[in-house]
């Protein structure tokens, strides 16, 4: 993977982005040390998204069959977001 310095990347950004769009990847360096990797954004994979949603639904159904309900897990006044972050240290 080619390395390019920060100054070169800044100076020739449009040209470098076009090369990235065509599939090339670059490592951007600062003072000779790698600091970032420049790659194209992956295309959205609709099949993978549908598969993930299907697995989520199946997981919910499994939990429901086992008698686990969301209201039994949430503390009073707690949101789903708060539940997801419960116990995490930031």
| Tens digit of each residue's pLDDT (9 = 90 or more) over 16-55 | 999 999 999 999 999 999 999 999 988 788 999 999 999 9
Q: Is the pLDDT of residue 89 over 80?
A: no
Q: Where are the alpha helices (DSSP H) in the chain?
A: 6-11, 13-21, 46-65, 70-73, 80-85
The CA–CA distances, whole Å, from 28 to 16, 17, 22, 37, 51 equal 11, 13, 18, 6, 35
pLDDT at 8: 95
* pTM for the predicted model, two decimal places: 0.48
Higher pLDDT among residues 26 and 76, named by residue: 26
């Amino acid at each position: 993977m080619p390395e390019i310095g920060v100054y070169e990347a800044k100076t020739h950004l449009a040209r470098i982005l076009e090369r990235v769009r065509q599939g090339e990847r670059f490592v951007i360096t600062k003072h000779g040390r790698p600091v970032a990797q420049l790659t194209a954004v992956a295309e959205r994979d609709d099949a993978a998204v549908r598969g993930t949603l299907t697995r989520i639904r199946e997981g919910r159904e499994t939990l429901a069959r086992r008698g686990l309900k969301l209201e039994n897990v949430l503390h009073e006044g707690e949101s789903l977001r708060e539940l997801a972050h419960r116990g995490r240290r930031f």
